[in-house]
Amino acid sequence: MRATIRQVAERAQVSRMTVSRVLQGRRHQVSEETYERVFAVMQEMNYIPVRPVMQNRQIQTNTIGLVPYHRNPSRNLIDSLTFEGLCDSAGQNGHDLFIMLRAEAEWMANREELRFLDRRSDGFIFISPGAHEWQTALETLVQHKIPAVVCYRRDVPEGVAWVDPDNKRIVDLALDCLMHQGHRDIAYLSGPKTTASANGLLANISGPRVNYDDESRIRRFSERLSGAIGSKEPFILCPTDPDWKLAPSEVHVLLDSGVTGVMCANDHMALQLWDHLEAMGLRVPDDLSLVSVDNQISAAHRGLSSIGFGYAEVGREAVSAWLELRAGANASACCKVVPVHLVERASVTQPKTR
């Protein structure tokens, strides 16, 4: 049976009010010795503070818990645009959104999955573009039959649904755009493999921080080019700077490889490359053709061919998937692939020999 706050108080020889103060992190209201003693008893008894009434599985809150990628979703493009779609669809379907923004309390360190059992919502949608994020929490939700949907990645436990753009189609559109102009030596400019820190991020990571979509696109890129150019190894450049900054030396490596076209992981990387090329006296697309992903306003202003999809559409589809899962559908049947499209501009032309 689950330990109660009264049992914790009795074993620690303090009042229930003191235990409550420790739970809330009010160190200034108890002595250091008392704080440590109560904290040790809670760990020993595996105490989980929950709202007993809200734990009743018969209660329906008509609320979806949203777990964003950043602690301040308004400052991040993926979070904010996906949130737009989530709000539209949740409201239309008679649900509220409960946004989880806080970091874990000290007593819950390394036990993040437990907070998701505090039933203030009927289930959860995660904005989670990194591989291996929230794995323990997701497994716990499946175990307790709480519906969960993850946006922007597919490496989720069985029983969790996902919503993701069509990464295979993204790569095929980019390569077809370049190959139709005669390009055969094509590179993939990815984001960095890992980031140095998780400052500002809410996501809980198991292992190195890796962008899931970027990894799946690299795999498809390698499959396509390996078949097209035989034994020649596809050229993939991963910047070393964890903050997605492309160094001039990395651009020289790219040019020295002899490629004539580049597929970039996103508009941010493509426009950095474009700036470096101009600083070297080279021109896009005459000296190097570029195709990117995201189709942001900055790409349109520059004339960058880019593949776009609706981030808000991901949010809307996530709510749809969650409602289906909530109604009892199999998780694998609830997964959604969001369509993508290529916007051709002036950054691709026929290759010339350098």
- Tell me the C-alpha to C-alpha distance, in Å, between residue 155 and each of 37, 134, 149, 160, 218: 40, 11, 12, 10, 16
In the chain, which residue ranges form alpha helices assigned H by DSSP? 5-12, 16-23, 32-44, 77-92, 135-143, 167-179, 212-229, 248-256, 267-279, 297-302, 311-326, 331-334
Residue 49 pLDDT: 67
114 and 214 within one domain: no
Q: Examine the domain organization and report whether 189 and 286 are in the same domain.
A: yes
Residues 332 and 301 in one domain: no
Q: Residue 106 domain-assigned?
A: yes
Whether residue 68 is found in the same domain as residue 200: no
Looking at residue 55, its pLDDT comes to 47
Is residue 68 located within the same domain as residue 158? yes
Whether 303 and 254 map to the same domain: the answer is yes
Do 11 and 73 belong together in one domain?
no
pLDDT, residue 196, reads 47
Query: Is position 49 within any domain?
Result: no
Q: What is the CATH number of the domain that holds 285?
A: 3.40.50.2300
Report d(CA 148, CA 127) in Å as an integer: 11
| Tens-binned pLDDT, residue by residue, of the chain (354 aa) | 567 888 999 999 999 999 888 877 778 899 999 988 998 888 888 786 655 444 445 568 899 999 999 888 888 889 999 999 999 999 999 999 999 887 655 544 445 556 677 667 899 999 999 888 888 889 888 988 899 999 999 999 999 999 999 999 999 999 999 999 999 999 999 988 765 456 678 877 766 778 899 999 999 999 999 866 554 678 999 999 988 899 999 999 999 999 999 999 999 999 999 999 999 999 999 999 999 999 999 999 999 999 999 999 999 999 999 999 999 999 999 999 999 999 999 999 999 865
Three-state DSSP at 261 gives strand
Q: Which of 289, 342, 1 is nearest to 172 (CA)?
A: 342
Domain for residue 345, yes or no? no
Residue 235 has a pLDDT of 93
80 domain-assigned? yes
Tell me, yes or no, whether 303 and 315 share the same domain: no
Alpha-carbon distance of 354 to 348, in angstroms, equals 16
Residues 77 and 154 in one domain: yes
The Cα 118–Cα 144 span in angstroms is 12
Closest C-alpha to 303, from 265, 262, 269, 270: 270
171 and 156 in a common domain = no
124 and 38 share one domain: no
Boundaries of domain holding 184: 167-309
Contact 190, 166 (CB under 8 A): no
User: In the prediction, which pLDDT does 231 show?
Assistant: 44
Amino acid found at 121: S
Task: Tell whether 343 is covered by a domain.
Answer: no
Number of domains in the chain: 3
Q: Does 51 fall in a domain?
A: no
280 lies in the same domain as 319: no
158 is a domain residue = yes
Residue 53 placed within a domain:
no
CA distance 345 to 303: 5
The whole-model pTM stands at: 0.82
